[in-house]
Structure formats: C-alpha cells, structure tokens
Amino acid sequence: MTVAAERLGVLCARIGLCSRNEAAKYARLGQILVDGQPAKSAAALVPGTANIQLTPRAQRMQDDKVTILLHKPAHYASCRAGKGVPLARKLLVPENRAPSCRTRHDPRQLSKLDATDVLDEATSGVLLFSQDGRVSTTVARDPLVEKEYDILTNGEVTSGQLSALQLNLGTLCSQDARVREVPGYVPRAEKARLLQADPAAVVEEAKPSASSRIQVVFCGTLTSSDLRQMCSQAGMLLFRVSRVRVGGISLAKLVPGQWTVVPGVEPLLRERSHFPAAEEKRPSRRTLRSMHE
C-alpha cells in the first residue's frame, strides 16, 4: 500500500508541531528532523508516516512563545482600525495586566504578537494575541473549535426568532449549534429600579420585557459581524454582543480592558468540539443577505 506524501510544512501544521510559516523558518535553520535527519525545506515531500520532530532548540523557541488573552471593550478595533478608532493592542500595557497574572511580560516588547482573528468594533470579549502560529490557525480556521457568545437584546425575543437564528447557524456552521435564551435574566438597571420601588417585587424568575439574554455556541469560522447580521435577519434588536469563550479559553474574571497571559496553548488546542465536522467554508455576504429574502 502506497503512503501519500505531503509537504513538510503542511504535515507539521496538521500534527500540531508548528504552523506552516514557522515550519518554513525552522527548516531553513535545520531545526526540523525527518526520521532523525535535518530537513532542508518545508516544501519537501515526506510520507505521512514519517517521524517528524523539532530539535531541542526549536522546541524551546516554540515553548517560549506567548499568548495573551484580552477582554476587548466595545468600540476598539482588533486590527485595521479606521480613522478615529482605537486599536485593542494599545490596551496591552503593564497597567492593564490582571492581578491574577503571574508573569511579568510586557506585551509592547514582544515581537510578532498578532491578533488571532477579527472581533468587530461593536463586539466585546475574548480577543487573543499570540506569537504562536498554531493558535492563530486554530482560532481563525479550525472548524471544530467552539466559540461562545453572550447576547443582550433590546426587546424580548420570540421563539420564532430563536429558531431562525438556530437554523441559520446550523446551515452555515455546525448542525449542533446551540441557541438558548437565559431564563430569569433581569437587567441591572431594571433590577435596581424594581428594588428601589418594591424590594419584595423582585423575584428570581422576574424578567422585564425590555431585554432578553441569549447564549449562542457554535463551531466554525463565522465572525462576530456575521453573527450580528444573522441576529438582525432573525428580527432581533441587539444591545450588546460579547464573545465569552474560544475553545477552552474564557473571560473568567477579566474586566473590560484587562489582559492576562495564557499559560500554554493546550487549553485552546485541547477543547475542541465533538460536533461532526461538516464541510466548513466562510459564508459570503451575499449568502447572509439572501437567507431571509
């Protein structure tokens, strides 16, 4: 039986050793071993059964790469900011380090620390910056990594709107995408007003018609702006959208504007969905517009 050959860089990325760009760099330095011998190029064809390893030096370089979790506030651009729009990267300063962060890294001194994907200006929440190409590839392109959003609406959502959003997500992402209205949600301002008027009137299941809270979980490369468009097509008026989790990395107790160092990429790479892998492709704007025409 003939074993198919692959480009070394592609194979390194597939087995999670390093990204394709990192493989090209390590191969030029002679730091990738194929069956014990240094590879000369990441473009070389090698059998899929070959034993691929990084040299100890390259492995140290890979292990030293830093990944940072930022709780991006709304109205900050993750990258390519327009005129007058601040960049989220400007928040990566020592003054904004979370008290729980044990490392003393200064992100301003870290080279090639890039946002792993795009979180639109109006959306807050999890934004990862990483020197590790595997993290960027996983967040932006892996169809099996879960992303969880917390959505607040203006006005109470209907079951029909939830079903429409569920259908859209199931069509363009994973069939097991989950859309759930959080029961018993009371907005903070409304709860304070009710408490002031009549403390006994505020019960756990009380929920004003002014707002609903929705939890959305899906796998795929759908962006936050695409999700917003889907919600609008379903008839929802959005008040706030926040991404609260990517893979195994969540906001936890980070407040908007704070950042912390992620201790290794294992949580992100390990917490992959067990949803069936559908054929994943980025939906076009035309597709999103036409879904409710």
Residue 255 structure tokens:
């407040």
| Domains of the chain as residue ranges with CATH | 5-63 (3.10.290.10), 67-290 (3.30.2350.10)
Residues 192-201 have pLDDT tens digits of 555 565 555 4
- Rounded to a whole number of angstroms, the CA Rg of the chain reads 22
Burial of 125 (0-12, 13-18, 19+ CB in 10 A): buried
Give the pLDDT score at 220: 83
Give the pLDDT score at 283: 52
Q: Provide the edge-to-edge strand list for the sheet that holds 37-38.
A: 37-38, 32-34, 52-54
Residues 133-188 have pLDDT tens digits of 989 888 988 888 899 999 999 888 999 999 999 998 888 876 678 999 988 676 66
- % residues pLDDT > 70 (the chain): 80
Q: Collapse the DSSP code of 43 into the 3-class scheme (helix H, G, I; strand E, B; otherwise coil) and give the result.
A: coil
| Residue 283 CB coordination number (10 Å) | 19
Of the candidates 136, 152, 291, 163, the one whose C-alpha atom is nearest the C-alpha of residue 221 is 136
> Is the separation of the CB atoms in 111 and 131 below 8 Å?
yes
Q: How many CA atoms lie within 13 A of 57 on its CB side?
A: 9
Give the pLDDT score at 31: 95
What's the gap between Cα 131 and its chain centre?
15
DSSP string spanning 79-105? Answer: SS--TTPPBGGGG-SGGGB-TT-----
**pLDDT range class, residue 10, cuts 50, 70, 90:** very high
Burial 218-241 (b: 16+ CB within 10 A, else e): bbbbbbbbbbbbbbebbebebebb
How far is residue 29's CA from residue 41's CA, in Å, rounded to a whole number?
A: 9
Burial of 50 (0-12, 13-18, 19+ CB in 10 A): middle
Of the candidates 152, 121, 165, the one whose C-alpha atom is nearest the C-alpha of residue 238 is 152
pTM: 0.81
Give the pLDDT score at 99: 93
Of the candidates 157, 176, 203, the one whose C-alpha atom is nearest the C-alpha of residue 277 is 176
Residues 6 or more apart whose Cβ sits within 8 Å of residue 126: 69, 70, 71, 72, 119, 243, 244, 245, 246, 249, 250, 251
Res 207 pLDDT > 60: no
Q: Look at 65 and 204; give whichever has higher pLDDT.
A: 65
